[in-house]
Amino acid sequence: MNTSTIPGFVKYKAGNKVIYQGKEVFVSSTKRTDNKIVICDDENLQTGFNYEPVYPYELSPVRQLRQGISTKPQTPEKRAELSDMTAFFDLLAQIVPFNCDNCFKPLYAVTKKSKRCVTAHIFPKAYFESIATNPDNILFMGADFIGCPCNCHDRWDANLDSRKKLTRAYSIALIRFEILKPFMTDKELVAAYEYLGLEVEV
């Protein structure tokens, strides 16, 4: 399988400010043949600073405060997608366990909001749309945002090194990956290997 098919999930441009491993960095180039994006820790992209090629799904856009209310209408497809996702989270809320799937610390998820916060996608729903509402793509892990005793959900989403340190969650993810493979597109499949730090099967 050709690794050049890894999807560029978000269209970044040179000069964009993005988040990488919790830090603000800047896009230097998006024109590599391997679909990686080159980032730099200097806003002016000068020589002598740190440059690093990374995959698009390792980056997050910097959220800007809205200056007004968006009036852009949602398409029927988008409304249906959001409705499906809400129904999916509502269904999972009925089976949230008491303990974190990774470290077994209590989740204390009793409200609708807290139950949603501890519902972690193994493969990010925004980038792996084919399995966004597949229950096998879900782990229940603590979120620091709501004051859980652990922050395994946050650590899982952070980066590959952090994911691998969550040894139980990572082991479960490898098993679930085998189950989820038939439901992924070719591009998602290649990206999934990269997301888990695995060698792409030819």
Q: What are the tens digits of pLDDT across the range 47-84?
A: 667 778 888 877 777 654 333 334 455 566 666 666 78
For the whole model, what pTM was predicted?
0.62
- Assigned domain for 66 exists: no
Do 47 and 119 fall within a single domain?
A: no
Please report, for the domain that includes residue 36, its CATH number. Answer: 2.30.30
Domain extent, residue 19, equals 3-61
- Assigned domain for 7 exists: yes
Do 112 and 55 fall within a single domain?
A: no
- Assigned domain for 171 exists: yes
Centre a 10 Å sphere on the Cβ of residue 179 and count the other Cβ atoms it contains: 12
Round the average pLDDT of the chain to a whole number and report it.
83
Burial category of 69 from C-beta neighbours within 10 Å (exposed 0-12, middle 13-18, buried 19 and up): exposed
For residue 70, the model assigns a pLDDT of 42
For residue 78, the model assigns a pLDDT of 60
Do 115 and 188 fall within a single domain?
A: yes
Q: Count how many domains the chain has.
A: 2
Do 99 and 191 fall within a single domain?
A: yes
Residue 168 phi/psi, 5° resolution?
-70, -45
Q: Please enumerate in sequence order all residues whose Cβ is within 8 A of that of 90, keeping only pairs 6 or more positions apart, or say none.
A: none
Band the pLDDT of 146: cuts 50, 70, 90.
Answer: confident
Residue written as token pair 């990374």: 54
- Assigned domain for 150 exists: yes
Which amino acid, one-letter code, is at 151? Answer: N
For residue 41, the model assigns a pLDDT of 82
Band the pLDDT of 152: cuts 50, 70, 90.
Answer: very high
